[in-house]
C-alpha cells in the first residue's frame, strides 16, 4: 500500500488532518486501533474556541455544529457566596466559545471522510512506525503502508511518540495532587453557561452537552475510584459546591456515565523527528480546567496542513522543518493558562491561610478588573 500521509489515530486530530489534506488534494490513510463505535461514543471535551469553530465550518463539516452547538457568550465564577460573570461579548466583541461534544465532531468527520471515499481503517492491530530518517512506512496487521510523511495523532498512550529514538525528546511534565470525577447526567442544564464553583470543599464545574444532557466535574482525591462516588454522594457534593448563590437550584437526573480522570501537564519537545510529526495529545496534555486540549489539537492540525500543502505542492520543506516551533509557542501559552486556571480554582492539601488569601486576591482582581477579566477571556476563547 502507498499513500502520501499515513495518519495514526482516528480522533479529532487525525480525522480533521485527513479531511483538510483531502481538500488540498493530498492522499492519506487513517489507522485506528479502536472500533468505529468506540471512537464515536467516547465522551470527551466539548468547549470549542472560536478558531476551532471557524476551522470546522470552513472545512465543510460544521453544519450540524452550527445547528446543534450551544454558543456561550461568557462564563460564571462562583466563590465567596457570590456569582461573577465574565462577559465575552463585551470584553472581546465577536468572539465566544461553543459547547459541542468531541464525539459529535468525530461523527461529523468520519461521515465526511467516508462520503469522500477516505481510507479509514478501524480495529487495526500492531501498528508500528519505521524508517523515519529516510523512507517512512507503517506496518499493521501483517501489512505495510509506504508514505512520505507520518502524522502521529494517536494520543498520549499511542505508538507515535515512543517511536522517536531515546534522547531526542525533552519532556516537561507535572502531575496534580487531585483528580476530576466527570459525571454525565440525563437532565437539562441548570444554567445557560458554564459555572465554575469554588469553595473550601473543592472545585466543581457545571457544563452541558445538549439541552437535555448535563456534564459535571468534581475535584476529588487522586486515589478515588468511581465506586467511592455513588450517585447520592455525587449530587449532594454538587449541591454543596454549586448552590452557593441565592436563587440557584441544581437540577438532578439519572447519571449515565461516571469517570475519574487524573490531571496532568505534559509537553514533549520537539513535536517532530525525521518525517514523523506529532499532533494533539501525542505531544502535549493540559489539565481540562481551561478547555484547551481539543482546541490545541485543532491548532496543530492547521499548522501541519499548511506545511504539508507547501511540501507536496512545491517540494519545499521549510514549513515542515518549522512545524514544532510554530506549534509550541501556542502550546506553552495554553499550558500556562491551564495551569493558572487549575491553581486558581482548586483547593490543594498543602494550602494554608496565606495561599487561600492569595487565591482570593487574584480571583477578586479577575472578576472586578476589566484588564484582569480580559486576560482570562482572551485565553479562554483562544
Residue 345 resides in a domain: no
Proportion of the chain above pLDDT 70, given as a percent? 100
Is the pLDDT at 279 greater than 80, yes or no? yes
User: Alpha-carbon distance 127 to 19, whole Å?
Assistant: 21
The answer to the question of residue 78 being in a domain is no
Report the mean per-residue pLDDT for the chain.
96
- Is the domain of 56 the same as that of 197? no
Q: Is the pLDDT of residue 45 over 80?
A: no
- Beta strands, E only, the chain: 5-8, 28-31, 47-48, 70-72, 74-79, 82-87, 97-99, 119-121, 128-130, 137-140, 143-146, 149-152, 170-185, 195-197, 204-210, 213-221, 255-269, 272-273, 276-278, 284-285
Same domain for 252 and 279?
A: no
Q: CA–CA separation, 315 vs 312, rounded Å?
A: 6
Task: Provide the β-strand partners of residue 273.
Answer: 276
Report yes or no on 86 lying in a domain. no
Question: Residue 152 in contact with residue 279, Cβ under 8 Å?
Answer: yes
Q: What is the mean pLDDT of residues 343-355?
A: 89
Percentage of the chain modeled with pLDDT above 90:
94
Q: Has residue 294 been placed in a domain?
A: yes
This prediction has a pTM of: 0.95
Stated as kind and residue range, the H or E segment containing 323 is helix 323-345
Q: Are residues 118 and 23 in the same domain?
A: yes
Residues 256 and 119 in one domain: no
Q: Which residues are catalytic?
A: 72, 196, 288, 292, 380
Residue 91 lies in a domain: no
pLDDT band at residue 351 under the 50/70/90 scheme: confident
Asked whether residue 112 falls in the same domain as residue 165, the answer is yes
Phi and psi dihedrals of 311, rounded to 5?
Answer: -65, -50
Would you state the pLDDT for residue 361? 96
State the pLDDT at residue 349: 79
- Indicate whether 169 and 204 sit together in one domain: no
pLDDT attached to residue 41: 87
Q: Where in the sequence is the domain holding 50, given as residue range(s)?
A: 5-71+96-173+264-340
CB of 327 closer than 8 Å to CB of 262: no
Sheet holding 28-31, edge to edge: 119-121, 28-31, 5-8, 149-152, 276-278, 272-273
Q: What is the DSSP letter of 123?
A: S
What pLDDT is recorded for position 43? 72
Q: Same structural domain for residues 278 and 204?
A: no
CA distances from 134 to 27, 149, 274, 275, 309 (A): 20, 10, 8, 8, 20
pLDDT tier, 67 (very low <50, low <70, confident <90, very high otherwise): very high
Which strands sit side by side in the sheet containing 97-99, from one edge to the other? Answer: 47-48, 97-99, 70-72
Q: Which residue carries 495554553 as its cell?
A: 334
Strand partners, 215: 184, 207
Under 8 Å CB-to-CB from 215, ≥6 apart: which residues?
A: 46, 182, 183, 184, 185, 207, 208, 209
242 within 8 A of 236, measured Cβ to Cβ: no
The pLDDT score that the predictor gives to residue 348 is 83
Q: Is the pLDDT of residue 44 over 80?
A: no
Indicate whether 147 and 40 sit together in one domain.
yes
Q: Does residue 253 sit in the same domain as residue 286? A: no
Domain total of the chain: 2
Q: Determine, yes or no, domain membership for 346.
A: no
Residues 230 and 370 both lie in one domain: yes
CATH number reported for the structural domain that contains residue 205 in this entry? 3.30.9.10
Q: Which residues contact 50 (CB under 8 A, 6 or more apart)?
A: 94, 95, 96, 97, 98, 381, 382
For residue 270, count other CB atoms closer than 10 A to its CB.
17
CB 27 within 8 A of CB 5: yes
pLDDT category at 42 given cuts 50, 70, 90 is confident
Name residue 98's beta-bridge partners.
48, 71
The answer to whether residue 87 sits within a structural domain is: no
Residues with Cβ < 8 Å from 115, sequence gap 6 or more? none
Residues contacting residue 200 through CB under 8 Å, at least 6 positions apart: 347, 356
Cell of 247: 436563587
Q: Do 188 and 168 belong together in one domain? A: no
Q: For the domain that residue 169 is a member of, what is the CATH number?
A: 3.50.50.60
φ and ψ at residue 347, rounded to 5 degrees = -85, 135
Q: Are residues 26 and 105 in the same domain?
A: yes
Question: For residue range 121-178, what is the model confidence (pLDDT) as tens digits?
Answer: 999 999 999 999 989 999 999 999 999 999 999 999 999 999 999 999 999 999 999 9
Tell me whether residue 89 is in a domain. no
Amino acid at each position: 500500500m502507498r499513500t502520501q500521509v499515513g495518519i495514526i489515530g482516528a480522533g479529532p486530530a487525525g480525522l480533521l488532518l485527513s479531511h483538510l489534506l483531502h481538500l488540498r488534494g493530498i492522499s492519506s490513510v487513517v489507522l485506528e486501533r479502536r472500533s468505529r463505535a468506540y471512537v464515536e461514543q467516547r465522551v470527551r471535551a466539548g468547549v470549542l474556541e472560536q478558531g476551532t469553530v471557524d476551522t470546522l465550518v470552513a472545512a465543510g463539516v460544521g453544519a450540524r455544529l452550527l445547528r446543534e452547538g450551544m454558543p456561550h457568550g461568557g462564563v460564571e465564577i462562583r466563590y465567596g457566596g457570590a456569582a461573577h460573570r465574565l462577559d465575552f461579548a463585551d470584553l472581546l466583541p465577536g468572539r465566544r466559545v461553543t459547547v459541542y461534544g468531541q464525539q459529535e465532531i468525530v461523527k461529523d468527520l468520519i461521515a465526511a471522510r467516508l462520503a469522500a471515499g477516505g481510507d479509514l481503517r478501524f480495529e487495526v492491530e500492531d501498528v508500528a512506525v519505521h524508517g523515519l530518517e529516510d523512507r517512512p512506512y507503517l506496518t499493521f496487521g501483517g501489512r505495510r503502508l509506504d508514505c512520505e510523511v507520518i502524522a502521529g495523532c494517536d494520543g498520549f498512550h499511542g505508538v507515535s511518540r515512543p517511536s522517536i529514538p531515546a534522547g531526542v525528546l525533552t519532556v516537561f511534565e507535572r502531575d496534580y495532587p487531585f483528580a476530576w470525577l466527570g459525571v454525565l447526567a440525563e437532565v437539562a442544564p441548570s444554567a445557560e453557561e458554564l459555572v465554575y464553583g469554588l469553595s473550601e470543599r473543592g472545585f466543581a464545574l457545571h457544563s452541558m452537552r445538549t439541552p437535555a444532557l448535563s456534564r459535571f466535574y468534581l475535584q476529588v482525591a487522586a486515589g478515588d475510584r468511581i465506586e467511592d462516588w455513588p450517585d447520592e454522594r455525587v449530587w449532594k457534593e454538587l449541591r454543596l459546591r454549586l448552590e452557593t448563590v441565592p436563587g440557584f437550584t441544581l437540577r438532578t437526573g439519572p447519571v449515565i456515565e461516571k469517570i475519574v480522570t487524573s490531571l496532568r501537564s505534559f509537553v514533549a519537545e520537539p513535536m517532530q523527528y525525521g518525517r514523523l510529526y506529532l499532533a494533539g495529545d501525542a505531544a502535549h496534555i493540559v489539565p481540562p480546567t481551561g478547555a484547551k486540549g481539543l482546541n490545541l489539537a485543532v491548532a496543530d492540525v492547521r499548522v501541519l496542513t499548511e506545511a504539508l500543502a507547501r511540501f507536496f505542492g512545491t517540494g519545499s520543506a521549510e514549513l515542515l522543518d518549522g512545524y514544532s516551533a510554530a506549534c509550541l509557542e501556542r502550546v506553552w501559552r495554553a499550558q500556562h493558562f491551564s495551569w493558572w486556571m487549575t491553581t486558581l480554582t482548586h483547593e490543594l492539601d498543602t494550602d494554608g491561610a496565606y495561599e487561600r488569601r492569595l487565591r482570593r486576591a487574584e480571583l477578586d482582581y479577575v472578576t472586578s478588573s476589566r484588564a484582569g477579566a480580559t486576560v482570562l477571556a482572551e485565553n479562554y476563547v483562544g
